[in-house]
Amino acid sequence: MAENRDLSLLETLDHLLDRGVVITGEATISVADVDLLYLGLSVVLGNIDAVDRLRLPPSLKKPPGGES
């Protein structure tokens, strides 16, 4: 389901992208327009039926993109 794929992908990025107090390496490259990603996440969630909002656990066991 495309929405689920988008959700997994955005959730993953939401956790991975540097946006706060974290250990940073010698160089941590920043990703611009992170806010857009977060807002994209809200849009995706907004399209999901309320009953479907609670997902336990995330669909990362079957990662988006189908890459093994």
Q: Which is nearer to another protein, 1 or 24 (CB)?
A: 24
Instruction: Tell the residue number behind the tokens 């390496």, with chain if given.
Output: 25
- Bond from prior residue into 64 cis (ω within 30 degrees of 0): no
Binding of residue 15 to another protein (CB under 8 A): yes
Q: How far is the CB of 48 from another protein (least distance, A)?
A: 9
Q: Rounded to whole angstroms, how far apart are CA atoms 5 and 9?
A: 6
- The angle formed by the CA atoms of residues 18, 22 and 28, to the nearest 5 degrees, is 50
Residue 1 Cβ, how far from another protein at the closest point, in Å? 16
Chain residues 25-54 in contact with another protein, contact rule CB under 8 A: 25-42, 45-46, 50, 53-54
